[in-house]
Structure 1
Amino acid sequence: MVDFEHARRAMVDSQLRTTNVTDRRILAAMGRIPRENFVPEARRPIAYIDESHGFGALAPGRFLPAPSPFAKLVQLAEIGPGDHILDVGAGTGYSTAVLAALGAEVVGVEREAKLVEQARANLASLGIANAKVVEGAHDRAPKGRFDVIVLEGAVTSVPEAFFTSLGEDGRLVALVQTGVTAVAHLFVKAGKTVTSRAEFNANLPPLEAPRPREDFVF
């Protein structure tokens, strides 16, 4: 039987603190939220390893981000308690739950209907009232303005629609992939201008991995 409480503490101490995650609110949220509830049942015993968890046949190409790169990316956004946040690639809702502990309101977007259903159930089971997950493409933003946008996976470029959805002084964080290297970038909007800054190398699967081809069988 896995001691998940101990596993959470070990994740915070050996994966997050050792990779320069210093924001106490992030450490507290990830040390409290039961990550094991958000991974496929067969992977629950290893829910706290510092690797991404794929959702397999349930949602091919989709995944729950590894703890360390996820936490570092969130820290880069410098989320305040009054911020409205867009979580792109919400999966089963783990990232949305963590972000809900940091800001005022979170909208998670997930392309796979089965994951949306699970995410909603997970958030409800934890009593998280300031977050919701909606079904939608990962290259478009729902209506509204956001103070922070987090892309939960590597992209070759950030879709322009997300910059349009940023409010004044809004921040967007994303892993931008060039060849085999992905670098975390912080984008900041001031007026109509968006500036960017490269921060650190990291590794996450693509946000929008291609769906498997459906072959016809005669």
Structure 2
Amino acid sequence: MKQPVIEYPPLDYEAARQRMVDAQIRPAQVNDPRIIAAMRRVPRELALPESMREFAYADQSLPLPDGRVLTEPRVVARMLQVAAPQEGERVLVVGAGTGYLVTLASAMQEGLRIDALESDATLAAIGRALCQTFAPDVSWHAGPLSAGVPGNAPYDLILIDGAVRAIPPAIVSQCAPNGRIVAPVWPEGGVASVCIVVPTADGSATSAAFDANVPLLPELAPAPAFSFDAYA
């Protein structure tokens, strides 16, 4: 006897988005109304390959191609709250990926001048498509993440969407004297924390804002140290 085919109704992404904000974002001490409004509006499912969209509003980072992830929603929200972008600021998003963070930044504050830097063409194609509808003023740039976008520096705010062992020197040099870098920093043997990094006369100063389990950006991860022990 042939088994009946069970057809499930399509996922209501709009309802799932509102549940995400109410159940994940607001309880995470995110109280900036600009962020709440942006996260209610920007469709996270469009920042994923079509095969992954049903998981868009899960309370976790989601895998993307080439070892990348779509960062957990509450971490993105809290990063933006720490960053507190203001009208007229020039912003750089390093590792813009599929565009969710950069689109939220544009949606939460009018008048930002945002550059999105991404080295992976597949991810950038998804991000560009998302921005075309929800953040058309964002300028996308292709190139190595460690290099930043020196031609448009200095930046008042630099966001890195993924953890790093340390902020690349070129990125620090592109931060305005009174600017700030907000990024997950995961020191070797330590705990990953979203940090605020500010330029100083001697380089930069770092302060932790909150702990966050964010994977390392593969491109910005340090190369394994060479050891003769491996050949002993």
Contact preservation (8 Å) 2:17, 2:57? yes
Q: Distance in 1 between matches of 2:182 and 2:79?
A: 6
For residues 116-150 of structure 1, what are the alpha-carbon distances to aligned partners after superposition, in whole Å with 9 as ceiling and x for unaligned?
22222221133x22202211112111122111001
Write 1 or 2 for the structure with the bigger share of strand.
1
Residue 122 (structure 2) pairs with residue 104 (structure 1): no
- Aligned equivalent of 1:119: 127
What amino acid does structure 2 have at the position aligned with 1:50? Answer: D
TM-superposed deviation, 1:72: 0.9
Worse-matched range after superposition: 170-179 or 115-124: 115-124
TM-score of the superposed pair, with normalisation by structure 2? 0.83
- The answer to whether 1:156 aligns with 2:170 is no
Q: Which amino acid aligns with 1:121?
A: A
Indicate the structure (1 or 2) with the bigger Cα radius of gyration: 2
Q: 1:134 aligns with which of 141, 161, 174?
A: 141
Quote the Cα distance in structure 2 between the aligned partners of 1:46 and 1:129. Answer: 26
Q: Secondary structure at the match of 1:8?
A: helix
Give the Å deviation of 1:196. 2.0
Counterpart in the other structure of 2:91: 85
Matches within 5 A, 1:45-84: 45-55=54-64, 59-84=65-90
Counterpart contact for 1:93–1:133, Cα < 8 Å = no
The answer to which of 82-91 and 175-184 deviates more is 175-184
2:48 and 2:126 in contact (8 A); partners too: no
RMSD, aligned α-carbons: 1.8
- Paired residues in the alignment total 206
Which of the pair is proportionally richer in helix? 2
The aligned counterpart of 2:184 is 175
Which structure 1 residue ranges, 5 or more long, are not aligned?
211-218
**Aligned partners of 1:91 and 1:106: how far apart in 2?**
14
Deviation of residue 168 (structure 1)? 2.7
Map 1:31-42 → 2, pairs under 5 A: 31-42=40-51
